[in-house]
């Protein structure tokens, strides 16, 4: 795996989210739109808290491990709120699930930003806690299926809105040369 960046993130319960990803894959295959949406790698479903550079020196790595240990002592409840989209050129581009009560995640992001600013990748975007579901590759074909896809996602969200998806905070390494992008927990 080639490291293109790293991030601190919340690892989520893959077994619960597997139902959603399997339903989307089944719909995609049944309707022959596998090249229309790129479904997130369900083996590393997470909420990114803070992006870090691809090179992390030993002392920073050790400090991150200590911070993860301390942060993992706090209980963070992650449940689903709604489906949303990031836009690009006035078109939906990334489909994501919003966690309920994102303020706690925003506070953690701010804490990490203050602590690891010198090791950060600055993407100039406002921090929005989210769980990526898929990327839209072909917008016009996606639009023909949007109603059915959103029905699958909204049904999943309503059936699982009270379930706590949180597992732990972790340091991930990322390989953006893969499609979909590959993320792996390293601490």
Instruction: Name the pTM for this structure.
Output: 0.92
What integer pLDDT is reported at residue 109 of this predicted model?
A: 92
What is residue 9's three-state secondary structure?
Answer: strand
What integer pLDDT is reported at residue 125 of this predicted model?
A: 78
What is residue 141's three-state secondary structure?
Answer: helix
**CA proximity to 97, closest of 158, 177, 37:** 158
Give 58's DSSP letter.
Answer: H
Cα 150 from Cα 69, distance rounded (Å):
37
Number of alpha carbons in the 13 Å side-chain half-sphere of residue 65: 9
Q: Tokens standing for 11?
A: 């690892």
**Contact between 46 and 11 (Cβ < 8 Å):** yes
- Domains of the chain (ranges; CATH) run 5-185 (3.90.1140.10)
List the beta bridge partners of residue 183.
174
> What's the average pLDDT block by block, 10 residues per block, for the chain (187 residues)?
92 96 98 95 92 90 94 92 92 93 90 84 81 96 97 97 95 91 92
What integer pLDDT is reported at residue 36 of this predicted model?
A: 96
**Contact between 5 and 133 (Cβ < 8 Å):** no
Cα 127 from Cα 129, distance rounded (Å):
6
**Contact between 20 and 156 (Cβ < 8 Å):** yes
What integer pLDDT is reported at residue 123 of this predicted model?
A: 62
What integer pLDDT is reported at residue 12 of this predicted model?
A: 96
Cα 121 from Cα 55, distance rounded (Å):
11
């Amino acid at each position: 795996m080639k490291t293109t960046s790293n991030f601190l993130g919340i690892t989520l319960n893959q077994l619960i989210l597997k139902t959603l990803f399997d339903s989307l894959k089944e719909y995609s295959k049944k309707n022959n739109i596998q090249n229309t949406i790129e479904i997130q790698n369900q083996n590393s479903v997470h909420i990114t808290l803070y992006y870090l550079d691809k090179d992390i020196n030993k002392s920073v790595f050790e400090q991150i491990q200590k911070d993860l240990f301390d942060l993992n002592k706090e209980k963070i409840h992650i449940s689903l709120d709604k489906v949303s989209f990031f836009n690009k050129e006035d078109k939906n581009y990334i489909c994501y699930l919003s966690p309920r009560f994102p303020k706690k995640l925003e506070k953690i992001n701010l804490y990490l930003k203050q602590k690891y600013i010198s090791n950060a990748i600055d993407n100039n975007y406002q921090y929005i806690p989210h769980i990526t579901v898929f990327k839209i590759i072909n917008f016009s074909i996606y639009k023909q299926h949007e109603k059915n896809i959103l029905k699958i996602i909204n049904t999943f969200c309503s059936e699982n809105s009270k379930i706590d998806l949180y597992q732990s905070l972790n340091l991930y390494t990322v390989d953006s040369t893969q499609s979909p992008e590959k993320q792996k927990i390293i601490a």
